[in-house]
Amino acid sequence: MGDTSTISGRSEPREFLDPSSLGLAAAAVAIRAGHITSEAYTAALLLRARTLAELNAFITIDETAVLAAARDADKARAAGSAALLLGVPLGVKDSYLTKGLPTSLGLDSLARFVPREDADAVRAIKGAGALVFGKNNLVEMSYGLTGHNERYGQVKNPHARDRVAGGSSSGSAASVAAGLVPASLGGDTVGSIRVPASFCGVVGFKPTTGRWPRNGVAPISHTLDTTGAFARSVEDCILLDQVVTGEQTAEFSDDGNDLRGVRLAFAPRQFLDLVDSEVEIRFREAVRQLRDAGAEVIEVDLGDDFNALIQTATWDIFAHETMGAISDFLRRHDVPTTFEAIYDGLKPQLRQAWGHIVLPGGAGAVSAEAYQTALNVSRPEIRRRLDKAFVAEGAQIILQPTTPCPAPLIEEQATVRVAGQDVSYLALANHTVSASSVGLPGISLPVGRSRAGLPLGLELDASVGSDRTLLVLARKIERVLGTASTAI
């Protein structure tokens, strides 16, 4: 029958091991211990990726190169390497520069652009022994929330092929949910990690803005952008955080599922104002479960105008910084195109949007005065409101539904229906935008399913710089709720 391997106390024939059953940490342990080889694991994931190619989760997979890298990892292990992610293949959003592997930014015109350098975060995972399995599909220039890409195809939700995967890190979320890779790097400006994580039923971690390196990743806004990750458990996000930041994990010890002494907050008037009824029901059930586990959960009120404040400020910053951020990135990294060429080649809907809000002469362009107001008046006020929960009330985490509804139908993605109302797809980021506005760390956890069997997400936000507290508490909450993700 062949060799047998013991993983998580379970003995299995090596060739029969289901690769999609392994999370990041488990795969790393299995390879380091010699229970599986990187080459066999990678080959099995490649087979799965071919089988599920209809999801459009990847733009580029160089099978020959990744298998060669896997064989090199196996040789390194035989020579004594014990690197944290040795031989584990990861997905990488195609907005990250990858040395020797095409980086399209989601654009047809850059389909054959091969960078001479890695983004800093890619360099970090490679330094820990990981392999770049392939480049994940995304919305063009990361400008969207549904996963539509005209050139490379709509990314489909692994739970329901007629549903969106979310965006802009659509392929990253879908590839983890479908078990094509155990984890993937993504990017988040107003919700581009957390929205697809919610829709695809995986864990999506957005660090404090600036905690993870952003160099070498195509930007939208230097104020709001952050790199981050998708995985199937909080434990795997903790491992990636250690690798990317270089910080040790000693502080991550915890005492199981006990939430006594943990203080959580939620703001029903602000974050349950426009959500589907089944989203609110599941959210309140999760709050009850956390209270039953010993947590103190308090209600706070962030003010009548809080939602309008964060929406206006964040989107003004988002739109005003795009042109300068992209132009600077192209120059610094020798990307063979210009902002003007990118604009001219965008799909019609996106070109129209850029013409309206991104170009300085657009009818909806944000004035310099409005931009400065967003930075210097609105953001400090948003921080002050949130400090009501974090400082005045002593909350360690603010809770809210990640998205106001489950994943919309692909055919209805421009205008989505939430709580009986037809609204713009931008409403999918109504909740994630609050953490983005002032750079808070946030994580979306799977929290059950809708009546139609679609994943629902629970967002946890912490104060700036409290990433480790967030991750430790998220791991406990994940255990209490019993909703760690498994591949489809």
Cα dist from 284 to 194, 297, 299, 410, 436, whole Å: 20, 11, 12, 28, 24
- Catalytic, 233? Answer no
Burial of 467 (0-12, 13-18, 19+ CB in 10 A): buried
Which positions ≥6 away from 131 have C-beta within 8 Å? 38, 42, 66, 69, 70, 73, 87, 88, 89, 90
CA proximity to 15, closest of 26, 28, 25, 1: 1
Question: Helices marked H in 129-219 — which ranges?
Answer: 170-177, 194-200
Q: Per the structure block, which two tokens stand in for 33?
A: 């211990």
- Are 206 and 435 within 8 A, CB to CB? yes
Directed axis angle between helix 24-32 and helix 38-51, to 10°? 140
Residue from 5, 192, 434, 485 carrying the catalytic annotation = 192
The CB density around residue 117, as the number of other CB atoms within 10 Å, is: 15
Amino acid sitting at position 169:
S
CB 237 within 8 A of CB 443: yes
Task: Label residue 108 left, alpha or beta by phi (over 0 means left) and psi (-120 to 50 means alpha).
Answer: alpha
Active site (annotated) includes residue 99: no
> How far is 378 from 380, CA to CA, in rounded Å?
6
Point out the catalytic residue in the list 5, 38, 93, 169.
93
What span, in angstroms and rounded, lies between the C-alpha atoms of 407 and 157? 8
* Backbone torsions φ then ψ of 169, nearest 5 degrees: -85, 55
Q: Minimal CA–CA distance to 436: which of 486, 386, 369, 481?
A: 386
- Which two tokens mark 86? 């040795």
The residues pairing with 263 across neighbouring beta strands, listed in sequence order, are 296
For residue 389, the Cα-to-chain-centroid distance in whole angstroms is 25
Catalytic residue among 38, 142, 168, 172: 168
State the virtual CA torsion across 186, 191, 196, 202 in degrees, nearest 10: 70
Nearby residues of 466 by Cβ (< 8 Å), 6 or more positions away: 208, 396, 441
Residue 93 annotated to the active site: yes
Beta carbons of 219 and 309 less than 8 angstroms apart? no
- Give CA separation, 223 vs 35, 188, 480, in Å: 44, 12, 35
Report the catalytic residues.
93, 168, 192
